[in-house]
Amino acid sequence: MSDSQGNHSVHRIVLPSGRKIEVVRFHDQAVEERTGPLHICPDCDSHLVQPVEWTEASEEHWELLLRCPNCQWMHEAIFEQEAVEELEEHLDEGLADLLGDLQRLTQANMADEIDRFVAALQDDLVLPEDF
């Protein structure tokens, strides 16, 4: 649970021991307005920028530490919820692409193994000791 009042918010946390604490977070950083999507590096134009760390700054803002794996550019700022959601959608699309590539590679490797096994069977190279 959190209460937001002006330039700070109060988060009530229950620790595993049952003890309750309040964490006060002051929001003195301005929200950054980006001209382009968060996944594009402003230094090298790579489309691989990803969040390294993130924390909720308020109900509609997130504090992100962004990093470009291509040029090692890093930037920490507070961003609007909408910009973070667009970044998340882009990351989800990238994950789906990676999983599709992994599936195609796995199928290609399996087909290659099957072809080699069939050739070994045809050439009588498979013996009972192989199992």
- Ramachandran sector of residue 38 (left: φ over 0; alpha: ψ -120 to 50; beta: rest): alpha
Say what the pLDDT of residue 7 is. 61
pLDDT above 50 for 1 = no
d(CA 23, CA 2): 9
pLDDT above 80 for 4 = no
DSSP character string of 55-121: EEEETTEEEEEEE-TTT--EEEEEEEHHHHHHHHHHHHHHHHHHHHHHHHHHHHHHHHHHHHHHHHH
* Confidence band, pLDDT 50/70/90 cuts, at residue 130: confident
pLDDT above 80 for 27 = no
For residue range 85-116, list pLDDT tens digits in order.
Answer: 999 999 999 999 999 999 999 999 999 999 99
